[in-house]
Amino acid sequence: MMKNMAMRCKLMLFGIYGTVFLSVFCGCTDKTSSFRPGAVWADTDGVPINAHGGGIYSENGTYYWFGEYKTEGRAGNTAQVGVSVYSSVDLYNWDNRGIALQVNKTDSLSDIIQGCIMERPKVIFNKKTGLYVMYFHLELRGQGYNTARTGIAVSKNVIGPYRYLKSLRPNAGIMPDGSYNDSMDYLLRDLSKGQMARDMTLFVDDDGKAYHIYASEENTTLHIAELTDDYLGYTGRYQRFFIGRYMEAPTLFKRDGCYYFIGSGCTGWAPNAARSARATSIWGPWQELGNPCRGENAELTFGAQSTYVLHVPEKDLYIFMADRWTPANPIDARYVWLPVTFEDGKPVIEWRETWKYQL
Ligand code: DGJ
């Protein structure tokens, strides 16, 4: 009897210590079942998710979150590792799937040599070529934010490895559609070498046409540029929008046939008030709708900056994804994900400490 008791106690202790050991040392965690904007968000290994300025591509019920892999200290604002990718089936629990696009660590002539700047990666799939296509904002190493280029990489598999193809300034030598009444100083300055392309997103419309939306003209003005059928270049059709409004961190999504934009003002890593807009054609006219955020700290987008709006059609859900940057230690930047609702056709983002989507 005593022997049995002792054995039971031993087993219990073993169980408790085993669980503590596994969760502390192996990083195993309980399943997540809600969003907690601004809190540390661990992946299924218990390690904080490292996918900043990210975007999501979904396929067959699985979501793939691509983002900037940040490291510790100021150097972590440059690309030391590359673009990371995580996958999830419920949007709460994310498996680390590794580095989708690695920086080059040996060839100092490579555009994506370690120490360059790779920001805001977005991935789309091209049905014609069967390739996954990644666009990102690229700054060549050692040149600050002056080169303002678009990087393009491709992969046969969604999680990679992605093969870096090229970088360029969009639409060299081509004038945009639209009126020429506004100031065009930077546009004309850059006409021959191509337009600056910094903060960016990609959008694929229902007809399969894809668009690159990027902060251009020294961040004064956004451009929407149509991509070629293989998504590997530009058709030459592009337009300026929000001219002179200094917007960045663009997101673009569609609801009930209308196009919506949510972005930010231009204050470096510091947060500012978000902006929103709506149009019935992607080419505009775009009507500005003001700051969609509501609640405490709404005038600073809850301390964050937009990066993507994810549409989950099965749940009629739109999720505003944003980054709370921490430039002194970039790896510690947090994610703010909040639901987007609509009032009189305007997007509204209300602060919530914690939330779940309705199944
Ligand atoms: C704000 C942008 O949105 C970020 O992606 C990054 O480029 C910082 N500016 C750099 O200051």
Establish if 100 belongs to a structural domain. yes
How many structural domains is the chain composed of?
1
Task: Specify if 151 maps to a domain.
Answer: yes
82: containing domain: 51-168
CATH number of the domain to which 161 belongs = 2.115.10.20
Angle, alpha carbons 256-262-266 (nearest 5°): 165
In a domain, 149, yes or no: yes
Residue 115 lies in a domain: yes
249 lines ligand 1 (CB under 6 A): yes
| CA 268–ligand 1 middle distance (angstroms) | 5
Q: Is the CB of 327 under 6 A from ligand 1?
A: no
Nearest CA to ligand 1 atom 10: 268
pLDDT of residue 29: 56
- Which ligand 1 atom is at minimum distance from the Cα of 117? 7
- CA distances (Å), origin 326, targets 33, 72, 141: 26, 10, 21
Q: Cα torsion at 86, 122, 310, 283 (round to 10°)? A: -170
Using a 6 Å cutoff on CB, does residue 76 contact ligand 1? Answer: no
The span from the CA of 162 to the CA of 154, in Å, is 5
Ligand 1: centre distance to CA 333 (Å)? 13
Residue whose CA is at the smallest distance from ligand 1 atom 3: 249
- Asked if residue 139 has its Cβ within 6 Å of ligand 1, the reply is no
Q: Nearest residue CA, atom 11 of ligand 1?
A: 268
Flag whether 72 is in a domain.
yes
> Which of ligand 1's atoms lies nearest the C-alpha of 120?
5
Please name which of 120, 69, 75 lies closest in space to residue 98, comparing C-alpha atoms: 69
Q: H or E segment at 3?
A: helix 2-25
Indicate whether 114 belongs to any domain: yes
**Residue 222 C-alpha to ligand 1 middle, in angstroms?**
15
What's 176's DSSP letter? P
Q: Is residue 89 part of a domain?
A: yes
* Nearest protein Cα to ligand 1, atom 9: 268
**Residues 327-331: contacts with CB within 8 Å, 24+ apart?**
327/74, 327/77, 327/269, 328/73, 328/74, 329/72, 329/73, 329/76, 330/52, 330/70, 330/71, 330/72, 330/76, 330/77, 331/48, 331/50, 331/70, 331/71, 331/72, 331/76
State if residue 43 touches ligand 1 by the CB under 6 angstroms criterion. Answer: no
CA of 269 from ligand 1 middle (Å) equals 6
The helix (run of H) or strand (run of E) holding residue 24 is: helix 2-25
Task: Name, in order, each residue with C-beta under 8 angstroms of 216's C-beta and a sequence gap of 6 or more.
Answer: 148, 186, 187, 195, 196, 197, 198, 222, 223, 240
Query: Is 102 among the domain residues?
Result: yes
| Tens of each residue's pLDDT in the chain, 359 residues | 444 444 444 444 444 444 434 444 444 557 999 999 999 999 999 999 999 999 999 999 999 999 999 999 999 999 999 999 999 999 999 999 999 999 999 999 999 999 999 999 999 999 999 999 999 999 999 999 999 999 999 999 999 999 999 999 999 999 999 988 889 999 999 999 999 999 999 999 999 999 999 999 999 999 999 999 999 999 999 999 999 999 999 999 999 999 999 999 999 999 999 999 999 999 999 999 999 999 999 999 999 999 999 999 999 999 999 999 999 999 999 999 999 999 999 999 999 999 999 75
Task: Kindly give the distance from the C-alpha atom of residue 325 to the centroid of ligand 1, in angstroms, as a whole number.
Answer: 9
* Best CA proximity match to 187, nearest among 219, 146, 139, 211: 219
- Determine the distance from the C-alpha atom of residue 63 to the mean position of all C-alpha atoms in its chain, rounded to a whole number: 13
**Residue 327 burial (CB count, 10 A):** 13
